[in-house]
Chains A and B, each alone.
Chain A
Amino acid sequence: MIEVQNLTKIYRLGSVDVPALRGVSFRIERGEVVAIMGQSGSGKSTLMNILGCLDLPTDGQYLLDGKNISGMDEDELAGIRNQKIGFVFQQFNLLPRMTVRRNAELPLTYDGARPEKEIHQRAEDILNAVGLGDRLNHRPTELSGGQQQRVAIARALVNQPDLILADEPTGNLDSHTGADIIKLLLGLNKQSGLTLVIVTHDSSIAAQTQRVIRLRDGIIEDRG
């Protein structure tokens, strides 16, 4: 599913080059559940952005589903993000003006000219599946943190991606709600074989994954 080789990212701050990733190589197979851990500044956010096709590496190769990402332009990357990747953020990143349903529909509206009916139906189905079938017309601010993260997960799932990237998905939730969210994500992996990559600080979450990639100062420390 994911194959990175010698991935390097250097940020240029004025005249100083700051390396964030210094040659990272690994593979993640389809259907795997992997945790990425590391302290802040270890380069895990940078890695996450590159894996999510939000950013391009300075050097090295990234193959997603066999396709080389490095040479793509901005709009092609947007297409890949729309079709293949679902994001779950620490801050949920829901649009406050829109209802729960409209938030979940968002990726579908950027996917060609789908019939409105299909967009409605799919968003509704997925919101039902994450247990928010009775909150379709609420605004995100009217929901609890756990519910908001479920909306975000519904949004990530609505376009049937192959890969879910969760960046500290429990960071803003209490431990009980956080555990529910992790259970939901792991359940999705079991049900439909989604590849799941979770960035986390929490070793108890990492313990529930099949493999842990630890980053330190832009390189992989060891493989679990």
Chain B
Amino acid sequence: MKLYRLFIEALESLNANKLRSMLTVLGIVIGVAAVIAMLSIGRGAEASITSRIESMGTNLIYVTPGSTSESGVQSSAGSAGTLTLDDSEALASLPDVVDVAALTNNMVQVVYQGQNTRTRLVGVTPSYETVGSLTLEDGEFISEDDQNARSLVVVLGNSVAEDLFGSTAGVVGQRVRLNGQPYKVIGVLASKGGTGFMNQDDQVFIPLSTALYRLVGNSQFRGSSVIGQITVKASSTDAIDQVVNEVMLTMRELHGTVEGADDFTVTSQQATLDAATEVADTMTIFLGGIAGISLAVGGIGIMNIMLTTVTERTHEIGLRKAVGAKRQDILLQFLVESVVLSLAGGLIGVALGWSTARLMGQVQFSGSTITPVVGLDSVLLATLFSMAVGLFFGIYPATRAARLQPVEALRYE
């Protein structure tokens, strides 16, 4: 029998039992919708993490004080003041290194008239503008002159300016107090988005020299000023591994340490990105797997209903065989029916899952929204998978139908 006729007949017989067909389809709809929603939210989370990490700049390598022990647990991070300006200058001369920025990290109270906010204070060298991929909305970034003169100037992060002034316009030229000292605002950064731990907008920048000598204090180590972190920008993504190696070797030479006993840690942005992506991937697979189980349950529903259908239509099967239906004809008839059921469920499920994902995209999770990513691949996957479910769970009932003996089937009432 031609496929087109099989298809028409399947629709007719499903239509004859509307409620039953609908309930069976519902099982698949829920399964597929869950798969689509879970995958898209997982993907969305991954995309948002990736974009936040990338918003800190690209091709970056971070050198921080303190060591990573053998078991991977970082001990006394930042507490050991072993990183100095000399290190930073030494790293700047390495090949494949485009730029190096040194910085200190502290918390600071920023006050403008009655408004005040507590935020991250970053003392930076002027090169940080390019290294950290900073974009100014207004004014300019810290210059070499500011650095040399230890000027009392500050560049505000976007949300800091919003908090203090209520807007980012007209802020340049105003004076704010950092821990009581008066600073002139010379620039406001454009917003990068992001919230919580990785918020790139909630920080203020002052010259590194100003920070060391005027604000947070200057301790010495091996005759050079101690800093909090060195950020190295590699020339390209391909050069990152090479640069990480060179940084390690140079630092070991300067600090006189050997592998395993380092008093510094080198991490690349790529490594952070990989780790975050891996976590997100694992989550996605986990959520998708749970959703997949509900799809399998839907498949069992299909099998159940198909077995009932075969029994109910035993007489019909006998008649069809009497007029010449071969085993394969009967097999295909019932397989097409179960695949039509599961495919209908798959298509409705994709639509429902997609709208669910969109809805969940509106809801805030710990202060931020995740934009769900419904990929064509997950739609294809869900559709094909639901078809496969129909085939798999349809085969047994269809085989039973095909094996019926014509005489006995015709006698069945």
Chain A positions near chain B (C-beta within 8 angstroms):
49, 52, 54-55, 74-75, 78-79, 81-83, 87, 89, 93, 95, 97-98, 106-107, 109-111, 113, 116, 155, 159
Contacts and interface: CB of A to CB of B under 8 A. Distances in A.
Interface residues of B, number: 23
A110 B323 contact: yes
A101 to B, nearest CB: 13
B317 to A, nearest CB: 11
B406 interface: yes
A85 to B, nearest CB: 9
Nearest to A48: B407
B190 interface: no
A148 to B, nearest CB: 13
Contacts, number: 61
Contacts of A159: 324
A110 B16 contact: no
Contact of B2 (A97, A98, A106, A109): A109
A78, A106, A155 — most chain B CB neighbours (10 Å): A78
Interface stretch (B114-122, B169-177, B325-333): B325-333
B323 A107 contact: yes
Contacts of A52: 322
A110 B326 contact: yes
B325 A78 contact: yes
B316 interface: yes
Contact of A49 (B12, B321, B326, B407): B407
Given A78-B324, A109-B5, A110-B324, 10 more contacts: A52-B322, A78-B321, A81-B321, A81-B322, A89-B410, A98-B12, A106-B320, A107-B324, A113-B2, A116-B2
A126 B316 CA distance: 22
B324 A111 contact: yes
Interface string B61-90: 000000000000000000000000000000
B327 A110 contact: no
B13 interface: yes
